[in-house]
Amino acid sequence: MNKTYKLYFIPGSQDLYGEACLKQVAADCQEMVRFLNDKLQDVVTVELLPTVETSKICVENMKRVMNDDDCVGVITWMHTFSPAKMWIKGLRRLGKPLLHLHTQANEKLPYGSIDMDFINLNQAAHGDREYGYILARLGIPHEVVAGFYKHERVIAKIRQFAQVAKAISDSQNMRIATFGNNMRDVAVTDGNRLSCEIQYGWEVKYWGIGEIAALAEQATDSQIHEKMQEYESKYTMATDRLDAVREQAKYEVALERFMEENEISAFTDTFQDLFGLRQLPGLAVQNLMDKGIGFGPEGDYKISAFSAVLMKMAEGRNGATGFIEDYTYDLTEGQELELASHMLEVPPSFAAAKPEIQVCPLGIGGKEDPARLVFDGITGQGIQVTLVDMGGHFRIICADIELVKQPEPMPNLPVARIMYRHKPNFAIGTAAWCYAGGAHHSVASTALTRADIAMFARLTGTELITIGDDTTEADLQKFFTK
Ligand code: MN
């Protein structure tokens, strides 16, 4: 969590303009980097690399980018013209997110004093087009941000890029543990693990749940006691069946130890394979998700990893981000709502008030009654986003939603209860999701926006389908044939 994240800033020029011009380029870039560091210090640090004047300098810069584990991405900008053949060999070494900042050192044109020296020095309109061509020609995924670098809109876009780049960096180093396999016969949670690792870096590794059962038995009284105190400090203990809660405490102690020893940041389990466990992990999983650990039920390794990536992207922002599951509707005409819930595992970051710990029967899986967190969901604007394997490629589907208060209490449903309204309306929004092949497992967020997801999709080369107020009935067939 205390890791330092860094963006390198690489300006472009050439050696035709003489020493004085290059000195001014360097000085202007130092000023820009100082300004960006000041504005982005809560997210990332920015470090200036030598101005690219030759292909050799560009290659050296990109080697440094790729060898620096703290570096999550690169900002490039052409202060002067910078013939783009010089960038080919360097760019081909770059395997990290790239931001093409289309800006200038000066905001306004000095109409009264402008001369040839000025336009030789300040020609991003010229140089950035040459550079844009080579990025397009090489097919390198990147983000273009255009505007004066001190404008709030531009800073906000660079900040967003830094957050997405951090999430991609985490993604590229992510190890996911699957305890058991996919739920038998389920299609959408399955897919190509090898393709996931190639495209997103996710190392999906199988272990038997017996590993956790064995570690749970090794949990000491003091570890269990400490975990129970953590639960009591965060949640309301609304049960007297403390032995059942302690069972979940043992699972969490075991899972934390396992994840630390194996450098795991996301995991799955399945209620069909709980060999050696007395309960389905509920409270244990919910409390781990609250700490940024990714989770997918029923062996859903894609959503497990994707939720961890999106929680990373949302770090430092207000709002909740985490796994949800579509369950059932209120189809009152014109006021349709969805109840998103799960058997147990909904992250408490979505709780509108302090969650209660309850112990209740599960009705599936044939195990003992599991302890779980029960709460009503927060309200506000948000997104629901999922990732599916289409065979030849991955597809992200991102829908704008509005989380709402439940119209009436549901006293007999002892799980998390999140309700939301689809956009542009129920008929189009849910039909679009179905046409697009959207899963019933997804990640909801009131911290992230469609624009964040779109940037992630562009930078990882993933197909993106969006659903929102701009979606029309005429779009629906397009989603299917895409
Ligand atoms: Mn499910």
| Gap between the Cα atoms of 440 and 171, Å rounded | 22
Q: Cα(352) to centroid of ligand 1, in Å?
A: 23
Going from the Cα of 180 to the center of ligand 1, the distance in angstroms, rounded, reads 15
Distance 224 CA to ligand 1 centre (A): 29
Distance 298 CA to ligand 1 centre (A): 6
The parts of the chain modelled with pLDDT lower than 50 are 1
Q: Which amino acid makes up residue 72?
A: V
271 Cα: distance to centroid of ligand 1 (angstroms) = 10
Give the pLDDT confidence of 185-236 residue by residue, as tens digits.
999 999 999 999 999 999 999 999 999 999 999 999 999 999 999 999 999 9
Ligand 1 center–CA 307 separation, angstroms: 14
CA gap 478, 469 in Å, rounded: 16
Record the tokens describing residue 268, joined without a space: 């799955």
CA–centroid distance, 105 to ligand 1, in Å, is: 52
How many angstroms does the Cα of residue 207 sit away from the middle of ligand 1? 20
The answer to whether 98 and 142 are in contact (CB under 8 A) is yes
**Ligand 1 midpoint to CA 209 (Å):** 18
pLDDT in tens, 144-188: 999 999 999 999 999 999 999 999 999 999 999 999 999 999 999
Helix, strand or coil for residue 37? helix
Q: Residue 135 Cα, ligand 1 centroid: separation in angstroms? A: 41
Give the distance (Å) from ligand 1 centre to CA of residue 297.
6
Q: How far is the CA of 272 from the centre of ligand 1 (A)?
A: 12
How far apart are the CA of 276 and the centre of ligand 1, in A? Answer: 22
Confirm whether pTM is higher than 0.85: yes
Helix (H) or strand (E) holding 24: helix 19-40
Distance of CA 309 from the midpoint of ligand 1 (Å): 20
Gap between the terminal Cα atoms of the chain:
39
Which residues, listed in sequence order, are joined to residue 421 by a DSSP beta bridge? 402
| Residues around the ion ligand 1 (C-beta < 5 A) | 298
Q: In Å, what is the CA distance from 123 to each residue of 26, 105, 278? A: 15, 10, 68
Angle 89-93-94 from CA coordinates, rounded to 5°: 120
Q: If you measure from the C-alpha of residue 267 to the centroid of ligand 1, how many angstroms do you get, rounded to a whole number?
A: 14
Contact present, 300 and 325 (Cβ < 8 Å): no
Query: How far is ligand 1, taken at its centre, from the CA of residue 169, in Å?
Result: 28
The CA distance from 256 to 248, in Å, is 12
- Beta carbons of 62 and 86 less than 8 angstroms apart: no
- Going from the Cα of 325 to the center of ligand 1, the distance in angstroms, rounded, reads 6
| DSSP track, 371-385 | EEEE-BBP-EEEEEE
The two tokens of residue 53 are 């004047």
